[in-house]
Structure 1
Amino acid sequence: MENETLFRFGVFLGLFALLALVEAVMPRRERSQTRQTRWVTNWGITIANTVLLNVMAFALPLLAVGAAIDAGNQGWGLFNSVSLPLALEIILAILILDFFIWLQHLITHKVPILWRLHQVHHADVDIDVTTAIRFHPLEIALSMLLKIGLVYLLGPAAVAVILFEVILNGTAMFNHANIKLPLWLDAIVRRVMVTPDMHRVHHSVHRHEHDSNYGFALSIWDRMFRTYIPQPAEGHDDMKIGLQWQDDRPSKLGWSLALPFLRK
């Protein structure tokens, strides 16, 4: 478990540094706020999330990977009831988990109380690699509980959960990154994976656009369930990011954490 944590943290830091560098060299959009203004808040939120997850791990020492190990020991879950080659089990588990993360994301947009939490993510007035780590701690906690329950139902190998977590975190940072992919490359990549241009539509201030493109890793779910919008109506350079009613307050840590409980 310790090596798993170090592995995931190392991959996270490496990808974050790489994408931040690419953003600086070939940005897709001009920033409306400085990096320092937003990054302090976005990193502050993810530090709060890390502390909360560590507390959860102390009180409930299973979380997602631990739940997979426990399910295996107990013989619980779908994959512990059938005999499949490990490689096939890993692929199927990642596909199923990715679909349910897509579905969870869609539900957070449709259920008002969940949207109050999720809007903290959408309140960012710019979108870059740090937006991928800007989620309210309560949303992170609820997401982890859902993931634990799903892992118990599926009973995947622990390595499948580890790989899924790494893929999810990596693709989330990639598709939130403010990087400019050549249009021909974007068109190819988005046939399978969510690209920055594809996901940026999801962060539009217009409701019909941010109620689309829910995927983090695979793009197939939005195409399959007709929630896919290829490009923003106002174009990537002119589209406005965030929420219609907001101002510069999302760059403040306290305000961002209090946002779900504010009347607007």
Structure 2
Amino acid sequence: MSFEQFVIGNEPLIRVGFFVGVFALVALWELASPRRVLQLPRAQRWASNLGIVLLNTVIVRLLFPTAAVGMAALGVERGWGLLNHFAVPFWLAVPLAVVAMDFVIWMQHVMVHAVPALWRLHRVHHADLDYDLTTGARFHPLEIVLSMGIKFATIALLGAPVLAVVVFEVLLSACALFNHGNIRLPDGVDRALRWFLVTPDMHRVHHSVEDDESNSNFGFNLTWWDRLFGTYREQPRGGQLGMVIGIHGHADPHEVARLPGMLMLPFKSRGTDGAIKRRPFTEHDAGANH
């Protein structure tokens, strides 16, 4: 059995193993050193947030049986993509592909904030009234399907190696759990990590009810893209403990903290709130970015 065959055959176990391990670690961290006091009972939110994760997993496996690694293996076999066309050595192709896919996910995140129809789907993620590791996994099934389509196209265009795709998928899951964690980091550690890794305090700004704050810090792993394209914001105006999490007009727990309400949220009114450029930046806002 080749390495690629082993990875493809065991990809679900690899991903689930890392997910469960990181989930347990961050969950214990949240209990030991929480950053904020949660508004809703953890059991209520976790049942809904993890319920939509389970639903999405089933849908993805039904629609995309071989997942992203299958597309990567097909691309390598047929010589698709830039990395195969230019015969980039494997040791260089893997990190290049991981960084490139990270950038594409960043652009996708900006896109779902910029296009009102896509924001309707993405606001399921932002409508959580609290912010903890399960927030990082709650996405509407239609957004997950859209994301998979973009991911498949990216893998084919890049010619990403199977190992790069597995590494990226593990990082995507682990970083989403970490940077959505309701955890406290020492200020010095947070400042140092922010030069390359998205921290919970950095990404929490993105979940503010204030539009100009939620339209910043789009990264999930690397902080480079937000710094490079001017969407990086250091802190929220209200501070980490004073900021309000969620979306204006969507504060009913029955709508945003229960699975049926989450699934129906994109099809309700008030679909443009939060979309990029709905509220202009002010001089005060610009100063808060420094």
2:95 pairs, out of 67, 91, 100, with 91
Shift of 1:2: 2.7
Which residue number in structure 2 is paired with residue 18 of structure 1? 25
Structure 1: unaligned runs, 5 residues or longer: none
For 1:4 and 1:250, the matched residues in 2 are separated by 32
1:65-116 CA distance string (max 9 Å, x none) = 1111001111111111122232211110011000000000000000011000
2:239 pairs, out of 230, 235, 242, with 235
For 1:112 and 1:200, the matched residues in 2 are separated by 22
Which residue number in structure 2 is paired with residue 3 of structure 1? 10
The answer to whether the aligner puts 1:251 opposite 2:257 as a matched pair is: yes
SS of the equivalent of 2:104 reads helix
The total of aligned residue pairs comes to: 261
What is the letter of the counterpart of residue 63 of structure 2? Answer: M
For 1:8 and 1:50, the matched residues in 2 are separated by 12
Shift of 1:151: 0.6
The answer to whether the aligner puts 1:261 opposite 2:262 as a matched pair is: no
1:161-213 CA distance string (max 9 Å, x none) = 00011011111110000000000000000110000000000000000000000
Shift of 1:51: 1.0
1:43 pairs, out of 47, 50, 54, with 50
For 2:68 and 2:15, the matched residues in 1 are separated by 13
For 1:184 and 1:33, the matched residues in 2 are separated by 30
The answer to whether the aligner puts 1:120 opposite 2:124 as a matched pair is: yes
Once the two structures are superposed, the pairs formed by residues 1-264 of structure 1 within 5 Å of their partners are 1-58=8-65, 61=66, 63-247=67-251, 248=253, 249-264=255-270
For 1:218 and 1:35, the matched residues in 2 are separated by 29
SS of the equivalent of 2:64 reads helix
For 1:239 and 1:133, the matched residues in 2 are separated by 21
Shift of 1:224: 0.1
For 2:239 and 2:60, the matched residues in 1 are separated by 38
What is the letter of the counterpart of residue 269 of structure 2? Answer: R
For 2:202 and 2:225, the matched residues in 1 are separated by 13
Structure 2: unaligned runs, 5 residues or longer: 1-7, 271-290
TM value normalised by structure 2: 0.89
SS of the equivalent of 2:221 reads coil
1:109-156 CA distance string (max 9 Å, x none) = 000110000000000000100001100000000000110011111111
SS of the equivalent of 2:117 reads helix
For 2:159 and 2:267, the matched residues in 1 are separated by 36
For 1:2 and 1:51, the matched residues in 2 are separated by 17
TM value normalised by structure 1: 0.97
Deviation >2 Å, runs of 4+:
none
Using the aligned pairs only, state the percent identity: 48
For 2:183 and 2:89, the matched residues in 1 are separated by 38
